Amino acid sequence: MFNTTIFKIDSMSYENQFTVHTQLKLSPFFERTSKLNESQEWRRWSGYLAATQYELTHDNEYFAIRTKAALLDITPLYKYIIEGSDAQRFLDRLVTRNIKISKVGQVMYTPWCDENGKQIDDGTVQRLSENKFRITSAEPNLEWIETNAAGMDLSISDDSFTTAALALQGPNSRAILNKVASDSLNSLKFFWMMDTTFGDIPVTISRTGYTGDLGYEIWMDPKDALAVWDLLLEKGKSYGITPTGLQALDMARIEAGLILLDVDYISTRHAIIQSRKSSPYELGLGWAVKMKKKDFIGKKALEAEQARGPEWEFVGIEIQWDELEAHYRKVGLAPGLPSTAWRTSTPLYKGNEQVGYATSGCWSPILKRYIALAHVKAEYAKENTQLDFELKVEHFRKLTPARIVETPFFDPERKRSCPQ
């Protein structure tokens, strides 16, 4: 565990003297993030110690994502390099997207499945050169990748510890990077990447992220991590750059309608019963299943599901404010809105029948709406369908109206546009 935090107060400033004794891994940015973390709240992320929030509340960090610029350490992502003459052919068999049509410098988001068409994980595939790719994932996938690569002319290496990564997200992110990078970011398109330098430091920048906003991810050698962090904070100060933790990120990704493994779905590897498994079609990822390509793991099962239609759909819901408020007024209380994102399975009803369950949700400060992501039986999943959302008011269960709505809840044009 980690020891007590010591603060040195000098006028209106302080220095956080934080040391740690833990079996968890420490990011190459930890020397900076640990001193900036006022709250000293941390989460375990893929075996790393990751900041939950830097300030005593996450509010400023959330608004940095939506109105300024947020800097997040995303080093804990699992990363694998796949290189060789069969690399593209292999990845086309591994994932559901059509990697063959990707160009050098392009990034594709994709799920991948088992032979029964049930989702194992989701992540991105970056085409670094004609025969070299980087795949990112939420869970360790090295053994599964290696097993499926038998007999192919390629090499597979674990890049998880040899590449550090930051996410710079928010409307000011491009302006900051244009101050730091040797090349302009103005023409970098959504889900594309480029090589550049920060001074004499080589970096790769992808226009990707997990916030649903204008944003970038920066990939670098771990030895350059602290220098890159310092440069971004220095050049980004006038743009409101803010170190940001996982609490604010969770709210932003819900607003963006983005799924989270082990929260919104369970990997088929870990689901101990069939009903806990989900296909891409049941997770709103049917658009990422490319049936026209020759073959991929799970294709036959997914073809059958496509023909009959999925049993479940993944939707956005909005909990109706007036009725929610009325439940609290009856007991003399103000509405009990969550201050952070929640991750508890919450039943949804149509009449007396439970027809689904919400998996994560939050009050959206930017939208002023109470929103959630949910699994709903396909016959009840049409947009604008009225359901009932279960909540507790003073220890008693109540039902309050909720409506199925379009996702993403938050989808600004700046996310995908380039300056004219």
Reported as a single tens digit per residue, the pLDDT across 10-46 is: 333 444 555 566 788 999 999 999 999 999 999 999 9
Position 68 in a domain:
yes
- Do residues 399 and 316 share a domain? yes
Q: Can you tell me whether residue 227 is helix, strand or coil?
A: helix
- CATH, residue 233: 3.30.1360.120
Position 215 in a domain:
yes
pLDDT in tens, 250-304: 999 999 999 999 999 999 999 999 999 999 999 999 999 999 999 999 999 999 9
Rounded distance between C-alpha atoms, residue 326 and residue 158, angstroms: 54
Domain count along the chain: 3
- Do residues 168 and 154 share a domain? no
Mean model confidence pLDDT for the chain? 94
Quote the domain boundaries for residue 336: 274-278+311-405
State residue 336's pLDDT score.
82
- Do residues 131 and 216 share a domain? no
Count the alpha carbons within 13 Å of 362 in the hemisphere toward its beta carbon.
23
Amino acid at 146: E
pLDDT in tens, 133-170: 999 999 999 999 999 999 999 999 999 999 999 999 99
Rounded distance between C-alpha atoms, residue 228 and residue 361, angstroms: 34
- Do residues 167 and 134 share a domain? no
State residue 5's pLDDT score.
36
Q: The tokens 């670098």 sit on which residue?
A: 220
pLDDT in tens, 398-412: 999 999 999 999 999
